[in-house]
Structure formats: C-alpha cells, structure tokens
Amino acid sequence: MTPETPETESLVLDSVERFLEAEVRPHARRLDHADEYPAAIVEKMKALGLFGCTIAPEHGGLGLATATYARIVERIAAVWMSLAGIVNSHLILAAAVSRAGTEAQKRRYLPRFATGELRGGVALTEPDAGTDLQAIRTVAVRDGDHYVVNGAKSWISNGGTGNVFALLVKTDPKAEPRHRGMSLFLAEKGPGFHVARKLDKLGYHGIDTCELVFEDYRVPADRLIGGVEGRGLQQILSGLELGRINVAARGVGLARAALEDAVAYSQVRRTFGKPICEHQAIQLKLGEMATRLEASRLLTESAALAFDRGERCDMEAGMAKYFATESAMENAAECLRIHGAYGYSREYDVERYYRDAPMLLIGEGTNEMQRIIIARQLVARHPA
C-alpha cells in the first residue's frame, strides 16, 4: 500500500483520537467490568470506517498503509485494548480475501467488510490445535455444489457478534504433508453453525470470545477462498502477519497507557516529603518503561513497513509481537507497583492493564513460537 501523506495521516489519527476521548474513554471502565459488548461504540467505529482500514479503496475501504493502521491500533489500545481486537480479527479475514480470494469473492465480500455490514474474524483454533494449526480436526466433505462441515473451533474472537468467518478445515485429512489437505472457507452463520458458548476470561473483556460448533453445516463451494483446495494454511498465514502487527501495536498502546498513568501518578503521590518520581527506585522503573515503549514502537513500525512493501515479514512481525507484548506485560506490572494499593483497585485502570496484557503474550501465536520463528528465519536468511 502507498503510505499516506503526513497531512492525511494526521487527519486520520486526530479523528480517531477525538472519537476515543469522546466515545470510548468515558465508558471503557464500566463496559470492561461488566464484560459488555460495546455495541454503540462499534456502530460509531463503522461510521468512522475503521472496519475498512486496510481494505483497498476500490472495494470501499480506507486503504490505509499498515504503518498508519498500527498507529491507529496503538491509540485504540491505549484507551481500551479490547476494541482493537474487534477490528483485528475482522481485518485478518479481509486480508485473506484480498490476497487470495477470487474476483467474485472480492466483489461480494470486501465492500460489505469495509462498511462493517458484515463483520467477523477467523475460525482457526481448536481445543487440540492452537499453535499447531496443521493438527485441526474440523473436516469439510464435498457434496455437489456444497461442502458439509463438521467439527469445532475454540477461542474465536467476535464469535458471538460476527456473522462471517474465515474457517480453516481439512478437505483431505490424509494428505501429507498435512497442510496440503487444508482449505479456507468464507463461512456465514446459518443452519448447522452454532455458537456453543461465550468463554469467560481474566481480561480482554467486552469482545466476545466463543466456542463454535459445526454440525452438518453446508457451505457453498464458491465460498472456498481462491477456489482451489489445499491452500488454506498459506492463505491464512499471510493474514496472520497483519494480525501479529496489530497485536504488537496493541502491546505498544498498552505499554504507553501504563507508562503515562505511572508518570502522572508518580508526580502526585508523595512519600517521605516529596513526590515519588523524585525517588531513584521509581525513576529506574520509569526509565525502563519508557525505553521499552519506544523500542516496541520502532519494531512495530519496521514490521508494518515491510508488510506494506510486500516483503515476507514473519521474522519482523514476530520480533515486534514478541517484544511489544512482553513490554506491555512488564509495563503493566511496574505501573501497578508504582500505584501500590491503588493499582490493585478497580477504581483505576491499572488493574485492567494487568489483566489485559497476558492475552497479548498468547494471541496470534505464543511468544515462545515467535522466538522460534525469529530464529528459523535468521538462519534461513544467513546461511553459512
């Protein structure tokens, strides 16, 4: 994608910030504590065009560069991280269609994704297949002009409120290597597609995370993304690079919120006759938090720019996702310590940062897996 001019990007970011301050910040704490889906906020997000951030203008989207999108996500996550997740899964779905879909699929779905008329995500993970997606057991069998799907998916973001998903299945369970038997479908809700339950979580409230069950669910054959079986894993992995950049940007936003709250509180909280920001123990924490934040932001920008250039960037996205999310976790913990007992109170946002951060370490591929990806790509790019 072509980078926006500084003036255009500034206008977009200013619009997002005004929306966040007016429509999100006053309600985030209440909605988070109630674990309530922010339906009214989502409608305003649709009006802003956020569900079409990275969808091309010819399909009705904003066509923003990934670097600009990452800056939007950072700002959203600094106010309420869950909203970024509502957009993220949806845009991974859109990226799969944009990159691998047939022309008919692009015409049918991308304009409706861009407006938010159709919203959803990706249905990949299963109870025994998370990081190892090739171990999925959900099967689709061809039956005339349809495929019949049976299986279950777990930990699916937007599972309750979304209405269409990129569904990863086995169309040839006996294929070797296993990825050659995997296909990706555009699965709209209908008979045989059941939301089994909403999962309760430590944090990341507001966004619905669900178990989905497919019982003789019939999906038209023309919803096979790309129109050819056996390419599903590769199709979704390219979208997951965008997802990992999103999660990295969420880490940046959460690390930023924790730092800003810590700096502000340290200047008003006094001990031993002076603000705690004047104590070296607190200064050491603030210095580390600020450095982690800036390094995370630069890694995320580097990955986003590589993605926009069309380069393979699983290493760059993995680095950004790994470092930024670990930074969010560490900054959240330090922010809580700086606030002391108040950080443990539900009257402050600090405890939410501490509950939200662990999800980032796990989502879109665990940080353990990111380090393995980084190492493998490092060796591949620098053969002896």
Active site residues: 364
Q: Are 37 and 89 in contact (CB under 8 A)?
A: no
As separate numbers, helices (DSSP H) first and strands (DSSP E) second, the chain gives 10, 9
> Which residue is listed with tokens 């799969």?
96
User: Strand ranges (DSSP E) for 118-189?
Assistant: 120-123, 139-143, 146-157, 164-170, 182-188
How far apart, in whole angstroms, are the C-alpha atoms of residue 288 and residue 279? 15
Please report the DSSP string for 115-134 in residue order: HTSS-EEEE--BTTBSS-GG
- Is 83 exposed, middle or buried (CB count within 10 Å of its CB: 0-12, 13-18, 19+)? buried
> Which residue is listed with tokens 């069950």?
213
Helical (H) or strand (E) element with 220: strand 209-220
Quick one: tokens of 261? 């709250």
Neighbour tally for 224: CB within 10 Å: 24
> DSSP 3-state assignment of 176?
coil
Quick one: tokens of 382? 């620098």
Quick one: tokens of 252? 């940046």
How far apart, in whole angstroms, are the C-alpha atoms of residue 14 and residue 346? 30
Q: Are 183 and 140 in contact (CB under 8 A)?
A: yes
How far apart, in whole angstroms, are the C-alpha atoms of residue 157 and residue 159? 5
Q: Is the dihedral of CA 94, 96, 99, 105 positive or negative?
A: negative
> Which residue is listed with tokens 């290493």?
315
Q: Are 180 and 58 in contact (CB under 8 A)?
A: no
Nearest to 320 by CA among 252, 263, 270: 252
Helical (H) or strand (E) element with 287: helix 280-308
Q: Is the dihedral of CA 371, 376, 379, 381 positive or negative?
A: negative
